Structure formats: C-alpha cells, structure tokens
Amino acid sequence: MSKKQKEIIEKTKTPITKSDIISGLKSLGITKYSRLEVHSSLSAFGFVVNKEYDIIDALLEVVSDGVIIMPAHTSEMTNPRDWENPPVPKDWFEIIEKNRKPFDPQIFMPERVGQVAKTFLSYPKVKRTLHPEVSLSIYNNTGDVSWYNHSFDDRELISPLYKLKEEHGKILMMGTDFFTCSSVHLSEFLSDYSTIDSYNYQIKIDDKIKKVKVITKYFDDDDMNFKAISEEYIRQYKNTDDYKQVKVGLATLTLIDAYKLYEIAKEFHINYSK
C-alpha cells in the first residue's frame, strides 16, 4: 500500500460506492439526457470501493442517453520548444521532432488528465477525437455524430466543447475546481493578449499517415484568467441552479452551465487589458 493510499483510507469515514455517486449526480439534477463535460479527481473522494470504475459506471448509468466528454490530452505531442514543466535542452528539439511517432488515437495514452479520464477512454462506446494535442473522449448516445467534430484550428470554434456550449450543456467538476475546466480556453483566441502558434503533425488514421497543421491561440497567463473567470461566475450564479454543489464522500461535486461560463470568459478575454 502506498503512502497516498494509506492517507486516503485514514481520511475516509465510510467507503464510497457507485450508489453514493449516483445519488450525488441525481441530486444535482443530472438526467439520462444530460450533456456533460466532466473533470474529476479520484483521490478527492476518499476511498472508493471500485476506484475510478465506480465513478465512470455511475456517470454512464445516470447519463445513459446523453453525452459525456472527458479530456484525453497528449501534452507530449506539443511543440518541444514550448515545454516548460519540465523544459528540455534546445539541442534536443530537432531529435525529438525527427523521431516523433505519429499521433495514434487508438494507442496514445492521455497525459496529466487523471485516472478517471484515462480509464474512461477504454470503455465501450467511448470515442476519441483526432486532435493531436487536446483530443477528447466522448460517450455519445444521441445519434448526433457531430459531437465528434474537432477542428485543428482553434479559431474555427468546431469542437465538442463548443457544441456543448451551444446546446446549453453542463460542466461537472468532481472533486476539482475551475482550473481544470477546458472550456475556459474556448474564447481565449478573442484576446489581444493571446499568442497564436501553429505546428505540423502527423496523425495515424485507419493505418494511413495524414499530415495536419494545428493552429492554437492561448491566453498568456492561465492562472490569472482562470481565477478571474471563476470568481466572476461564482459571484453571478452562486445560490442559483447554474451553480450547484453536493458532497460525495470527501469530494465536492460542482455543476455549472457551459453557455454561461463561455459568456463570462468571452467578456473577460475581449475586454482584458494589462
């Protein structure tokens, strides 16, 4: 048993079950037809009997005829010149790029997304978008295949997260906070203080290698804009149906509205000045 596992057991009063998680989801108003972007921390719950499987199984049981989106990002596929945590020596850049394996959505494991999101990708009926940097895992039982559309140019606003906003879906943070919320990035390209970048990739699709150019435009200070946007969202919607919270085990589950978050983020990015 690891030190972290020992600490989790010591903090937990009663083991958390799938039924506990289902009750929490339903108390937030999540239904079989919900459209959800989900971010989660397994350790935040305390001791969960079947670990990440109980969290995923609970989500799939409750949202049986809807959409569940989780991050499947592969940060190792980004431009090595941009790596900061940790950086690599400059004389490594060319070697990495020449020897880099084409992005294969069938076998590449997500990075830095948590155990729940990693395991979700292996579930039946879960499909992955083809974006080599910020792919998404999607369970979609709506019959609408446009949920899988994910442009390589962020400025086109064609992605499952933008569609979630357009359909007034919800964002569920399970033991996490706004700083894990990928949707905050959607409007960053609108800011004069964002940096545009492009990078050429190879992607493996149906045993064929395809060359694509990814264009991104990210706000230059994530800590600052995520903090400001989350504080404004909470200020506007705390104690309303657009900011609901429930405790499951040690974790706080928070449900917010994707459209309302986008509108606040858009206003921030358009109007921000240093």
> With pLDDT > 70 as the criterion, what percentage of the chain qualifies?
97
User: Which residue reads 């935040």 in tokens?
Assistant: 44
Contact assessment for residue 210 and residue 202, using Cβ atoms and an 8 Å cutoff: yes
The pLDDT of residue 151 is above 90:
yes
Q: What is the largest CA-CA distance in the chain?
A: 54
CA distance 78 to 201: 9
- Residue 112 is predicted with a pLDDT of 84
- Residue 116 is predicted with a pLDDT of 97
* CA-based nearest residue to 166, from 48, 253, 262, 90: 262
**Residue 256 is part of which domain span?**
3-271
Over residues 156-162, mean pLDDT: 95
- Residue 150 is predicted with a pLDDT of 97
The pLDDT of residue 68 is above 70:
yes
Reported as a single tens digit per residue, the pLDDT across 244-261 is 999 999 999 999 999 999
Contact assessment for residue 36 and residue 69, using Cβ atoms and an 8 Å cutoff: yes
* Residue, of 6 and 152, whose pLDDT is higher: 152
Count of domains forming the chain: 1
Over residues 135-151, mean pLDDT: 97
- Residue 273 is predicted with a pLDDT of 67
For CA atoms 94, 98, 104, 109, give the dihedral sign.
negative
| Total-model pTM | 0.93
The pLDDT of residue 121 is above 80:
yes
- Residue 119 is predicted with a pLDDT of 97
- Residue 82 is predicted with a pLDDT of 85
- Residue 73 is predicted with a pLDDT of 93
- Residue 76 is predicted with a pLDDT of 81
